[in-house]
Chain A
C-alpha cells in the first residue's frame, strides 16, 4: 500500500459526460501528479500541483482540469468525454515539488470507460 488513495476505482460513463476523479496523497506529501495510461501508450504526465498551486503541465487537454485543495487532496475533472478518454488514470504524490529527483508514490488508479 503506497498510502495514496484514489477513488473511484472504476468509472463507466457515456460520451459527452463529465466526471471527477479524486486523489488523497500520502500523509506529509505536498505534491500531487496526475498521469494517464491509455492502450498502447506509456504513462503520460498530465499535471502536477504542489501545496495547492499548479507546478507543471503536460499534454493535458483543455477539456481536463485539476485542482489541489487546502487539505492537499486533488481532483481531476474530465468533461465532454470522448471514447478516446477511456484510460487508467493514476495519481501519484511526493514530498517536495521536484518530482524529477524524488520517488513518486502511485495510487491504485481509476479505470475510466467511456461508452
Chain B
C-alpha cells in the first residue's frame, strides 16, 4: 500500500487568486497518479491521470505536474472561482496494484467571492 500525504489540509482563497497544493507519495513502485475533484454532495470526478515523470496536464484553469523521482505532484488552479470549491484528492497507484489506488485525505479548497 502506498502512503500518500496531501498538503495543506485546507485552504481559503479569494476569488481570482491562484493557488496550488501538493501530493507526496513514495517514489518506489510508482505506476500512476490520479487527481480527483470532490464537490460536496457529489461523487469524486477525475481530473487527471499521470504516469510519466515530468508529465504536465491541463484542464481549463487547472493544471498538474508530476515528479516521480522525488515522489510529488502539484495541482494548480489559476484565477480561482467559487465553483472550484471542493476537496481535491490525489491517489497514486503501484505497478502491481491494478485498481488499488491509495487516496490521500485531500485538500479542502474554499474560494470566497
Contact = CB atoms under 8 A, between A and B. Distances in A.
Asked if A and B are interacting partners, one says: yes
A98 B43 contact: no
Contacts of A31: 99
Contact of B98 (A2, A55, A103): A55
Contacts of B106: 42
A99 B33 CA distance: 11
Per DSSP, are chain B's interface residues mostly helix, strand or loop, or mixed? loop
A45 B101 contact: yes
B105 interface: yes
A109 interface: yes
Query: Which of the four size classes fits the interface of chain B?
Result: 20 to 34
Interface residues of A, number: 28
B52 to A, nearest CB: 11
B98 A108 contact: no
Interface in A41-66: 42-45, 48, 55-56, 58
B34 A58 contact: no
A25 to B, nearest CB: 12
27 contacts: A2-B45, A42-B89, A42-B103, A42-B105, A43-B89, A45-B100, A45-B101, A45-B102, A45-B103, A48-B98, A55-B99, A56-B97, A56-B98, A56-B99, A56-B100, A90-B44, A97-B99, A99-B98, A99-B99, A100-B97, A100-B98, A100-B99, A100-B100, A101-B49, A101-B93, A104-B101, A106-B44
Interface of B: 31-32, 34, 42-46, 49, 51, 89, 91, 93-95, 97-106
Interface of A: 2, 4, 31, 33, 35, 42-45, 48, 55-56, 58, 90, 94, 97-109
